Chain A
């Protein structure tokens, strides 16, 4: 019986297993001179293999694996495939950048896959221990990845900051876990939910949730727990930033979903107000800070803070267990931000270091196509129609208005207008100014095709959004 259970679980868990094994293989391959140049291909191959094999084992019903410590259902698979997609784009785009920065190595890709794996585990976890391990697996890999560029001043600084603060956050989450465990006597999240549904919400339970969600807020970089994000964005190598900006967000969304789904805490006034307040505060802080930024990555970071605020508001608005709004927001935001950072990665090179927004001056005259891609992406982040970002913001506003929180909707909206300014500033530098560094290398047909994937889908999904909506609404309600 146990054996059967384990084999069954393993079969359902085979993509992760493949990723795990392959990361070891890649690590090994990196040590051999002759195989070193193939690590990139191996990585791509293994991710594709994992995702393709995973398709075989897709099923519509939910499975509990490994003694119900992991869950596999539509939701987890949906987000995992989004992650695969994002991850593939990231590694394909980052190759050139890594080569020029001498960062290509077995351990890099191995660690990256570990980070991905950690996020997958967070997505699937149904058990506090597994969850904790997932968080730590991804964080530990990311600490080392950030610091990977050992010669860089800023990388190390970013790494130490991220390291310390992230551990504080983990500890806060753990502290919350410990209370949760103490109250419910179980570390199984489904059991905890069951317990909460059957018993009245005690103060301790509320505290534990507050602690956990402060941790989540940290991971999402919701103000006032956002300080690490701009520094990491600026300090870390761009491919890592790209990863941090997107995949952990998705993972932690599923984390939040797991904790809130069917849980009466969501109707608790204090808790929901906390989430709402954090969201609002984050939108304020994010937009206001982003306004004054001169460095493009810091600007994107603060825009990330503002968007995290939106995600929290979306979580808040998840009345009647409707997490689809937040899910859509997270997905759309992650995808667009990956597109933005990928384009910046693509433009950056050793010869031309794209640090300031100024550096984008006149990009359109050098390469109009890339400028348009970046424009579409930024407009999507700003939530202008014709892009998927519009629906994301639309849904959040709709939810707020539905809950009759008009004033909050108006405030949120006014802050978006503030936010619009800094996106437009990038666009104006690209299109309206002249003087782009001519050394920039904008060739590379394949990369450009990959880069256009996301903007194209941003536009296409805008035109035909219903499939996505339907699917997300279906799996999350």
Chain B
């Protein structure tokens, strides 16, 4: 039997994986965007689970908003990446450390 806590653990794991993806990935910025997307999906799972188990529709509404915002974020993220690429012709995260200290 799959209970709510299974879902919750699942989404928490998903979240952890996506976060791990952010700091383990040292090559490409695009992967970052994917991880971020995954992270938001983990949150979505949570909302849906709660919404389902409490018979309340608001959680699912929330998910729609999150999805919409995530799309917008991806767009902006890509835009930033494009401008970054234009300047330095590379998407390696390793090279982005001019700001430090």
Contact = CB atoms under 8 A, between A and B. Distances in A.
Given A147-B79, A151-B87, A234 B65 contact: no
B65 to A, nearest CB: 6
Which one of B49, B73, B80 has the highest number of Cβ atoms from chain A below 10 Å of its Cβ?
B80
A231 B88 CA distance: 18
A244 B36 CA distance: 22
Given A153-B87, A161-B99, A178 B50 contact: yes
Given A153-B88, A298-B101, A144 B76 contact: yes
B47 A181 contact: yes
Contact of B47 (A143, A178, A230, A292): A178
Interface string B58-101: 11011001100100110011011101101110000000101111
A415 interface: no
B46 A178 contact: yes
B54 A174 contact: no
Contacts of A195: none
Interface stretch (A1-9, A17-25, A125-133, A381-389): A125-133
Contacts of A168: 19, 22, 36, 39
A153 B32 CA distance: 20
Nearest to A295: B101
B28 to A, nearest CB: 12
Nearest to B43: A174
Which one of A158, A160, A179 has the highest number of Cβ atoms from chain B below 10 Å of its Cβ?
A160
B83 A156 contact: yes
Contacts, number: 119
Which one of A128, A163, A177 has the highest number of Cβ atoms from chain B below 10 Å of its Cβ?
A163
Contact of B73 (A156, A158, A167, A178): A167
Contacts of A156: 80, 83-84, 87
Main SS at interface, chain B: helix
Given A167-B36, A181-B59, A230-B99, A150 B86 contact: yes
A168 B66 CA distance: 14
A175 interface: yes
Nearest to A133: B65
A435 interface: no
Q: How large, as a class, is the contact surface on chain A?
A: 35 or more
B80 A171 contact: no
Contacts of B54: 182, 185
Nearest to A182: B50
A164 interface: yes
A157 B59 CA distance: 35
A177 B99 CA distance: 32
Given A158-B99, A171-B36, A140 B72 contact: yes
Contacts of A187: 58-59, 62
A159 interface: yes
Interface residues of B, number: 42
A143 B80 contact: yes
B29 interface: yes
Which one of A129, A167, A231, A235 has the highest number of Cβ atoms from chain B below 10 Å of its Cβ?
A167
A132 B66 contact: yes
A179 B53 CA distance: 13
Given A164-B36, A167-B73, A159 B80 contact: yes
A372 interface: no
Contacts of B53: 182
A288 to B, nearest CB: 13
Given A156-B84, A157-B84, A163-B80, A185 B56 contact: yes
A187 B56 CA distance: 11
B14 to A, nearest CB: 10
A129 B62 contact: yes
A118 to B, nearest CB: 12
A132 B69 contact: yes
9 contacts: A132-B69, A144-B76, A147-B79, A151-B87, A157-B98, A160-B81, A168-B19, A178-B59, A298-B101
Q: Considering the complex of A and B, which 10 residue pairs feature the smallest CB-CB distances, nearest first?
A: A182-B50, A178-B46, A231-B99, A156-B84, A174-B43, A171-B39, A136-B69, A185-B54, A159-B80, A147-B80
